[in-house]
Structure 1
Amino acid sequence: MADGADRGAARGRRSRPLVEPVPDVPAAVADLGDETGLLVADYHAGIEAGLRYERGVELESAGDERRERLLDLLARTGADRLVVLGDLGHRIGGAGDAETEELEALLSAIGVPVTLALGNHDAGIADSFGDRIDVTGPGGARLGDVGVLHGHTWPAPEVLGADVICMGHEHVAVRLEDAVGGARAEKAWLRGPLALAAFDGEVDLAAAGVEWHDPELVVFPAFNDRSGGTWVNVEGQGFLAPFLPAGLVDAEAYLLDGTRLGAYRDV
């Protein structure tokens, strides 16, 4: 592990942020050290079959459109690796036929290595596609100076030793009102310093030999347009991760086009 001086020097040499959102889409490019990664969260392959089973909602599959959107982003960014921050699939408890078919088509078309930070909807994916995907444990993993996890469990200690930590799970959205009382939901990013106190008694960094470097937490909006969202600026809409909101006291919200909305609680 690099010491503080080495890490500080590395930060000074960087000409770009470690994690930089791609304008107008729920995806980011990340410096993973030896690779450039394209990061997305909550792909939810096969969601239409899941909605039919779970809620009786009939929708045609948008799997082809999702795949083309992702392939276009990989081509545009020139990424060396795709990193999915959990919930690549949708059916909790194992992939159904529609999900398996969509994932098979997606993985056959992707020409770069894929890392999946295991999410709560990803049961069975390692068994079905583990020879084609690098699957982390539930607490995520560290790729260079970037920690990646889904966010449904406590992070692995090595994730908390990163400079920037990226997570999904929350499907971040904000409720925006106009002057005449109309309202709409918009996908959004949350970014802010992660608070160490949120992990007291849950993650033992000292025992794991991990140093704390005051990381920034980046909470991703969902890549899937049909997976809903949590309006983080609406009272009563609680977070899903066990370390939020305690771990993200001073976060700011940003729209996909980069518009800074300020403190998410005040939007």
Structure 2
Amino acid sequence: MAGADSGPALVEPVPGAPAARASVDGETALVVADYHAGIEVGLRYERGVELESNADLRRIRLVGLLDRVDPDRLVVLGDLGHRIGDAGDREADELATLLTAVLDRVPVTIVRGNHDAGFDPDEFGQSGRHPLAITEPAGTRLGRVGFLHGHTWPARAVVESDILCVGHEHPAVRLEDEVGGGRKERAWLRGPLRPEPFADHLGVAADDLDWRNPAVVVFPAFNDRSGGTWVNVEGQGFLSPFLPDALVADAVDAYLLDGTRLGPYRTV
């Protein structure tokens, strides 16, 4: 197995935001996960929760990050929309307005997530000056960085990246104060991976992989109204088929959006 330095400069969180910069083939990508456009409609049908739409605020936040980072492209780690299957009218309107604003600025790559099953790039691909592409659910590799939503196993080329960016989990931590009060905070997970689960899935020997000792970066959800995996609460399970088995668990740290390192996620 070949080893490589996964290098913190390859993927770095944008301070204070559920987004990261990634260096890919000489370009800078802004990377976000789990935008969940139209989530308010979904919450109404799924849980009977009535909320005013935050569509405009979500779009302003994302466009503001494009202004702040000035990337060459946007990569969305799946679940750009919320409804599984065809988007309803309100969600489709939000997606059209969002993609018109973003594609006027940069090319967009969407890694297909479980909520993107009905997303048709041809429907939105003429929304701006730049192209829109959507990958297979097994993800894609751009330069040394692999991108995956996380509801499926990654393709071999993605596994053989130097660093793997994953969404789907919406990781969060429960933090308690001195008097026993608690609050939920979105969080990043970052740490090393083990090759064996991926090799088993691919039906190859671990030594046959071009294993680069990759780090995994599990992204917080961009949408602050979505639920998530409370990684430090007993009884909460991961959603991905390869997590947590593929993690070197004691070496995977949790971080808050402001960059605060909380230490190994299981002991926060």
TM-score, normalising length: structure 1: 0.91
Determine the structure 1 residue equivalent to 2:108: 114
Look up the equivalent residue of 2:119 and give its one-letter code: I
Look up the equivalent residue of 2:185 and give its one-letter code: E
Question: Higher RCO, 1 or 2 (CA under 8 Å, sep at least 6)?
Answer: 2
Q: Which of residues 41, 56, 71 in structure 2 aligns to 1:49?
A: 41
2:9 is the alignment partner of 1:33: no
In the alignment, is the contact (CA less than 8 A) between 1:41 and 1:220 conserved in 2?
Answer: yes
Determine the structure 2 residue equivalent to 1:123: 117
Taking the aligned partners of 1:200 and 1:206, their CA distance within structure 2 comes to 6
In the alignment, is the contact (CA less than 8 A) between 1:157 and 1:205 conserved in 2?
Answer: no
Gap regions ≥5 residues in structure 2 = none
Taking the aligned partners of 2:27 and 2:90, their CA distance within structure 1 comes to 32
Within 5 A, what are the aligned runs for 1:19-168? 19-110=11-102, 111-127=105-121, 128-129=123-124, 132-168=131-167
Determine the structure 2 residue equivalent to 1:177: 176
Taking the aligned partners of 1:40 and 1:210, their CA distance within structure 2 comes to 28
Look up the equivalent residue of 2:112 and give its one-letter code: L
Taking the aligned partners of 1:235 and 1:61, their CA distance within structure 2 comes to 33
Taking the aligned partners of 1:242 and 1:129, their CA distance within structure 2 comes to 30
Taking the aligned partners of 1:146 and 1:204, their CA distance within structure 2 comes to 23
SS at 1:90 equivalent: coil
- 1:4 CA drift (Å): 5.9
Taking the aligned partners of 1:140 and 1:183, their CA distance within structure 2 comes to 36
SS at 2:22 equivalent: strand
- 1:48 CA drift (Å): 0.6
In the alignment, is the contact (CA less than 8 A) between 2:2 and 2:211 conserved in 1?
Answer: no
Identity of aligned residues (%): 64
Look up the equivalent residue of 1:34 and give its one-letter code: G
- 1:210 CA drift (Å): 5.4
TM-score, normalising length: structure 2: 0.91
Taking the aligned partners of 2:203 and 2:259, their CA distance within structure 1 comes to 36
Spell out, residue by residue over 1:198-240, the C-alpha distance to the aligned partner (whole angstroms, 9 max, x if none): 2242124679x85111100000000001111211000110000
Taking the aligned partners of 1:214 and 1:74, their CA distance within structure 2 comes to 31
In the alignment, is the contact (CA less than 8 A) between 1:33 and 1:143 conserved in 2?
Answer: yes
Look up the equivalent residue of 1:93 and give its one-letter code: G
Gap regions ≥5 residues in structure 1 = none
Taking the aligned partners of 2:2 and 2:152, their CA distance within structure 1 comes to 28
Taking the aligned partners of 2:81 and 2:125, their CA distance within structure 1 comes to 13
Q: Bigger CA drift: 192-201 or 158-167?
A: 192-201
In the alignment, is the contact (CA less than 8 A) between 2:199 and 2:205 conserved in 1?
Answer: no
Determine the structure 1 residue equivalent to 2:187: 188
Look up the equivalent residue of 1:213 and give its one-letter code: R
Distance 1:226 1:204, change over 3 A: same
In the alignment, is the contact (CA less than 8 A) between 2:2 and 2:210 conserved in 1?
Answer: no
The ranges of structure 1 where at least 4 consecutive aligned residues each deviate by more than 6 angstroms after the TM superposition are: none
- 1:124 CA drift (Å): 1.7
- 1:254 CA drift (Å): 0.5
